[in-house]
A and B are shown apart, each in its own frame.
Chain A
Amino acid sequence: MKTLRATLVPLAAFALIWLAMPGASFVPKGYLSTPQARAAHQQRWGEPWTSLNVSAGILQRIREPIIAPIRGIQPVFRVAQSWHLYRDGPRPIRRMEVWVDTALVYRTGDPEYDWREGVFRNRRIRPMAESLVVRKKARNRLGIGRLIVQLATQDFPDASRVEIRSVWARRGKTPAVHHSMTATGPDWALEDSP
């Protein structure tokens, strides 16, 4: 039992390190694999950077075939992750606004317009609101749009129109509508702005 443990523990640690090797996800598989690419790198960056980068490319080509079968098991436990976490933030200040008829009821991060803030700030919903604000044709925009319309018609039963706006501004400048979606009663079908 002791021998088995003494063998399995380092193997498991090796698998963990091999799978989650810091920085490895930034190295393409064929990175500096040709003499031409290495020569060009050498000319631009010199040593020791070229040797280091060539080694990273070689390591990646050794690593990839080994992690391929382990990767197949990862979805079962859904543990695959690059662990990049927060690398950078957006330069424009972007917010989501919800208008019911002519009244603004929600604006991201604005305590004056905080209708259903808990919903839009929830960690599972926030990424959807974020992609809706960032991309005009975000894949999940209709799902979250439908939820917003449903909540708005529930909370404001007399409403006839709900508009979801993505508002962008440069820091310290006046914000402008970047794109929007509108739903009008009684059918409440969502339509993208032109």
Chain B
Amino acid sequence: MKPLWSAWTRWLDREVDPRPLALVRIALPLCVLADLARLAQLGLLWDVFTPYAEGGLNRIESPHAVVWEWFGPNGPWVAFSTTVLCMALIMIGRWMRPAIVVGVLAYAQLGHVFPPGDRAIDRLIRTALLILLFSGADGAFAWGRKRLASVPAWPEHFLRLFLVLVYTSAGIAKLIQQPEWFSLTADPPLLRILIDPMASTLDPDFWAQFPVLFRVLGIATILLEVSSILLLTRWGPLWAIGGVLMHLGIWASMSLGMFSPGMLALYPVVLAPVLGRTLFRPAPSRRLG
């Protein structure tokens, strides 16, 4: 038992270049900030974060929206300002840990205030930020800090495990609920998803002429999702090329806001071995850190 325990602690002691984790630390809050900025640009902040009784959009109340009790009608604005401030701090790498705790709590409150607009990607970003809380993600590209030579590797593995769970769940759910994903004759489900005008930007009349294309892409999507366990192996970067292509395809064909950029924000840890050999070589000067 002792050799096993020693091997386990040695594995946990392994260290990696902090830059892939730092890129995730920068990209995730950037997505949140860009998303909230877009909401402000459209002039929708008031409509989204005001109760229905006072002229807002949402009638679905979450019992966990405690900001109303704590700060009254200003609650959502306190949550909004706190989220923006904390995301900015996480991004620049200052007071990262307290900023993640407070920022995730405030961001969660924004979700409770307006549940219809709080989607899977918001939950994914919050979960990923909570994983970063225990990482050395502020060991590089952090304002006023020198870059560390290395940080513990386990948060990188944890983020990869999280991605595996997300993709595998998505793949299995598709197969359980809709066997037509593997049918060679039925109407391809991917075609239905990608020509639904409410979520997609593709012209239904034009693209419906190519069912075979969507059948092949649909099968490729399922195979990619259920094979995501490869992310935990040395084949991870290779798998990630498929993942990147899938998310770029979704980004180009659907109007899902920050879904694709939010998912891609986690990819630096998947592509860490490739980044280590290419982008991060030769080692940058200290000024970068």
Asked if A44 is at the interface of the complex by the 8 Å CB criterion, the answer is no
Of A31-39, A88-96, A156-164, A183-191, the one touching chain B? A88-96
Q: State which of A82, A93, A143, A144 has its C-beta within 8 Å of the C-beta of B173.
A: A82
Chain B neighbourhood of A89, CB < 8 A: 189-196, 199
Quick check: which of B22-30, B69-77, B255-263, B274-282 contacts chain A, the rest being far away?
Answer: B255-263
- Which residue of A79, A84, A127 is within 8 Å of B116 (Cβ)? A127
Contacts of B9 in A (CB 8 A): 2-3, 6
Nearest CB of chain A from residue B170's CB, rounded to whole Å: 4
How many angstroms between the C-alpha atoms of A133 and B199 in the bound complex?
Answer: 12
Residue B210 at the A interface, CB < 8 A? Answer: no
A87 touches B198 (CB 8 A): no
Using A82-B169, A88-B177, A123-B259 as known contacts, say yes or no to A95 and B197 having CB atoms under 8 A apart. yes
Provide the residues of chain A in CB contact with B154, threshold 8 Å. Answer: 9
Name the interface residues of B169-202: CB closer than 8 Å to any CB of A.
169-174, 176-178, 180, 187, 189-201
Which A residues lie within 8 Å of B60 (CB)? 139-140
List the one stretch of B34-42, B80-88, B141-149 in contact with chain A: B34-42
The reply on B97 being an interface residue by CB < 8 A is no
> Which residues on A are within 8 Å of B, measured CB to CB?
2-3, 5-6, 9, 12-13, 16-17, 20-23, 25-26, 75-91, 93-96, 108-109, 118-119, 121-131, 133, 139-140, 142-144, 146-147, 171-172
Give per-residue flags for B82-122: 1 if the beta carbon is below 8 A from chain A beta carbons, else 0. Answer: 00000000000000000000001101100110101111101
Given A16-B162, A78-B108, CB of A83 within 8 Å of CB of B196: no
Given known contacts A86-B170, A88-B174, A125-B57, what 9 new A-B pairs fall within 8 Å (CB)? A26-B173, A77-B104, A84-B170, A87-B178, A87-B189, A89-B196, A109-B203, A127-B117, A140-B116
A39 to B48, alpha carbons, bound, how many Å? 52
Q: Name the residue of chain A whose CB is nearest to the CB of B221.
A: A86
- Compute how far the CA of A17 lies from the CA of B232 in the bound complex, rounded to whole angstroms: 14
Question: Which residues of chain B from 109 to 162 have a CB within 8 Å of any chain A CB?
Answer: 111-112, 114, 116-120, 122-124, 126-127, 130, 154, 158, 161-162
Cβ–Cβ < 8 Å partners of B176 in chain A: 23, 26
Interface centre among A77, A84, A95 (most CB of B within 10 A): A77
Q: Which residues of A contact B14 (CB under 8 A)?
A: none
For B38, list chain A residues within 8 Å (CB): 122
Closest Cβ of chain B to A86, distance in Å, is: 5
Residues in B with CB closer than 8 Å to A12 are 158
Which residue of B117, B158, B196, B197 is within 8 Å of A13 (Cβ)?
B158
Known: A22-B168, A77-B104, A124-B48. A6 touches B204 (CB 8 A): no
Contact of B257 among A95, A109, A122 (CB under 8 A): A122
Which residues of chain B are near A95, meaning CB under 8 Å?
197-198
Interface size for B (C-beta < 8 A) is: 78
Is A87 within 8 A of B173, CB to CB? Answer: yes
Q: How far is the CA of A99 from the CA of B120 in the complex (A)?
A: 32
Q: Please pick, from A3, A118, A140, the residue contacting B58 in the complex, using a CB distance under 8 A.
A: A140
Shortest CB distance A92–B (Å)? 9
For A96, list chain B residues within 8 Å (CB): 198
Bound-complex Cα distance A162 to B289 (A): 56
- Which A residues are CB-close (under 8 A) to B197? 93-95, 108-109
Cβ contact within 8 Å between B205 and A78: no
Closest A residue to B154 by beta carbon equals A9
Q: Smallest Cβ distance from A18 to chain B, in angstroms?
A: 10
Contact assessment for A79 and B169 in the assembled complex, using a CB-CB cutoff below 8 Å: no
Query: With A6-B8, A78-B126, A171-B204 given, is the CB distance from A123 to B258 under 8 Å?
Result: yes
Task: Write out the residue numbers on chain B whose beta carbons fall within 8 Å of the beta carbon of A77.
Answer: 104-105, 108, 126-127, 130
Q: Please list 8 pairs of residues, one from A and one from B, whose beta carbons are closer than 8 Å in the complex, sorted by A's number.
A: A22-B171, A81-B124, A87-B178, A109-B201, A109-B203, A122-B42, A123-B35, A124-B116
